[in-house]
């Protein structure tokens, strides 16, 4: 996909080596902008933005500008640092995306696994308080196999890298925040994923609906934690169509 499409790779949005993004410009001006945040439990070096370049294919064909984000990883940084880096990336996108045919008034964000947690934290960010940017900077979201309460991960082998305190786990768990972004949300999980993923996605969907956000919960038939993102390279897949439809409304 990086060979087939016009793209700008490894653009820096921050001061460290991990703060890079790829942009696949839309084919015409004022394109909706779709930002994808990868997962990897905040620490997996082999999972990065390049793994998800296939996502750009159907989205660019549908008229969008696509941005794929990288960020620094634990244990070199903490999860709270990563959240701040993603906020910095969103600000960069808002200020610069028009150079790549994107419309900064039509920014949509999706994330997978830990990227779902990061996306949800962006939904809970008060952009006006942060940088005097519009509170509705994010117009819609897609949360794939997300981690919305990260306390359980303090008690797994992840802890040696993520080093979560109880206070930080609570502060970095979007389940306990009032979402400020009010755009529609798709909350999807693979049918074959563990009960924890299903429960957290259902609970977070309910949390969004409690705050009068249109949230659609989807269990994708036959999918596991990784195959759910493979779908997004197929323009005819129902999940890809739902994602494109969200940007069209």
Structural domain containing residue 111: 8-248
Confidence (pTM): 0.97
CA 135 to chain centre: 18
Which H helix or E strand runs over 20?
strand 20-24
For the residues 33-53, what does the mean pLDDT come to? 96
- Number of domains the chain contains: 1
Confidence of residue 172 (pLDDT cuts 50, 70, 90): very high
Residue 2 lies in a domain: no
63-115 tens-digit pLDDT: 999 999 999 999 999 999 999 999 999 999 999 999 999 999 999 999 999 99
- Percentage of residues in the chain with pLDDT exceeding 70? 100
Q: CA 143 to CA 141: how far, in whole Å?
A: 6
Domain with 13 in it: what CATH number?
A: 3.40.50.1820
Say yes or no to pLDDT of 249 above 80.
no
Say yes or no to pLDDT of 193 above 90.
yes
Residue 1 lies in a domain: no
Residue 14: which residues within 8 A CB-CB, separation 6 or more? 85, 88, 89, 92
Residue 201 lies in a domain: yes
Contacts of the segment 7-15: beta carbons below 8 A, 24+ positions apart:
7/56, 8/100, 13/69, 13/88, 13/89, 13/92, 13/93, 14/85, 14/88, 14/89, 14/92
What's the length of the chain?
249
pLDDT of residue 86: 98
């Amino acid at each position: 996909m990086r060979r087939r499409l016009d793209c700008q790779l490894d653009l820096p949005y921050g001061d460290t080596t991990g703060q890079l993004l790829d942009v696949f410009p839309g084919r015409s001006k004022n394109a909706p902008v779709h930002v994808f945040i990868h997962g990897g439990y905040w620490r997996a070096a082999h999972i990065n933005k390049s793994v998800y370049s296939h996502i750009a294919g159907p989205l660019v064909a549908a008229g969008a500008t696509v941005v794929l984000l990288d960020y620094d990883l634990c244990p070199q940084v903490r999860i709270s640092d990563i959240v701040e880096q993603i906020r910095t990336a969103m600000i960069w996108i808002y200020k610069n995306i028009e150079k790549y045919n994107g419309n900064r008034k039509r920014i949509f964000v999706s994330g997978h696994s830990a990227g779902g947690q990061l996306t949800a934290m962006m939904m809970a960010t008060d952009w006006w308080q942060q940088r005097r940017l519009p509170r509705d900077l994010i117009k819609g979201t897609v949360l794939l196999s997300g981690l919305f309460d990260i306390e359980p991960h303090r008690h797994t082998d992840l802890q040696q890298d993520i080093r979560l305190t109880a206070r930080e786990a609570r502060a970095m768990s979007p389940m306990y925040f009032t979402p400020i972004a009010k755009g529609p949300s798709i909350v999807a999980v693979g049918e074959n994923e563990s009960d924890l993923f299903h429960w957290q996605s259902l609970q977070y969907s309910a949390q969004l609906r409690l705050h009068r956000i249109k949230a659609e919960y989807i269990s994708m038939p036959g999918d596991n934690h990784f195959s759910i993102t493979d779908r997004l390279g197929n323009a005819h897949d129902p999940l890809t169509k739902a994602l494109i439809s969200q940007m069209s409304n």
